[in-house]
Amino acid sequence: DGGITQSPKYLFRKEGQNVTLSCEQNLNHDAMYWYRQDPGQGLRLIYYSQIVNDFQKGDIAEGYSVSREKKESFPLTVTSAQKNPTAFYLCASIDFPGNNQPQHFGDGTRLSIL
Amino acid sequence: QKEVEQDPGPLSVPEGAIVSLNCTYSNSAFQYFMWYRQYSRKGPELLMYTYSSGNKEDGRFTAQVDKSSKYISLFIRDSQPSDSATYLCAMGRTGGGNKLTFGTGTQLKVEL
């Protein structure tokens, strides 16, 4: 089955710790996106990548980092500089950018502070 | 002022009711529009996608876009308890790298 797999489903972070959220897709999609979802605030874009080895900051990139070494993988690192990391993180993809088509989402990772 | 406004609800209706969910937007550059359904602890799933003003129907769901008024709606007919979820509107600009702007979501509960 084609889709987007996010892991783990639940993640806990200690103070001062970096954690990495995984996003893998087997849809052969070019573009991938990371969002953060907080109650009452909708989805906010953290980073996106339209092609391998290239990525751009979204609206709330501070305290986060990404890499795109392979087409199918777009991991997100939540660094210790992100002071309020508790949220639901969603990864999305689209076959190729510029075609104005909807994004497809994974089932998210819920990150909490210990 | 947010670019996209959506009533957060919660909205509670009896089974079989017609549900109307709405979003307004301020940026006339938005050209394509989506409705997503999100169950608790799950990712959003695409319900409807429209590119032009007017109505688009898919089963019990109808999406309506009025670009002149900057207003989009989702109608759910014969609502079922399985429709209980959060509904997110989203919109994008042509040439915007497929970046989407989302509403805050409306929580819907359909009661037996």
pLDDT by residue for chain A (114 residues), tens only, comes to 679 999 999 999 888 899 999 999 999 999 999 999 998 788 999 999 999 999 999 999 999 999 999 999 999 999 999 989 999 999 999 988 777 888 999 999 999 988
Two structure tokens written together for B42: 């799950």
Q: How many residue pairs bridge chain A and chain B with CB atoms within 8 Å of each other?
A: 63
Two structure tokens written together for B86: 């959060």
Q: What is the pLDDT of residue A41?
A: 82
Nearest by CB to residue B34, choosing from A42, A102, A106, is A102
Q: Amino acid identity of A9?
A: K
Q: Mapping DSSP to helix (H, G, I), strand (E, B) and coil, where does residue A86 land?
A: coil
Q: What is the pLDDT of residue A15?
A: 84
End-to-end CA distance of chain B: 37
Contact list in A for residue B105 (CB cut-off 8 A) is 42
Beta-carbon contacts of B112 under 8 Å, excluding residues fewer than 6 positions away, are B15, B81
pLDDT tens string B31-76: 999 999 999 999 999 999 998 899 999 999 999 999 999 999 999 9
- Tokens 């307004």 belong to B24
Given an 8 Å threshold on Cβ–Cβ distance, is A104 in contact with B46?
A: yes
Nearest 5°: the CA angle A68, B48, B53 is 110
Q: Amino acid identity of B19?
A: V
Q: Tell me the C-alpha distance between A84 and A110, whole Å.
A: 13
Nearest by CB to residue B43, choosing from A50, A58, A107, is A107
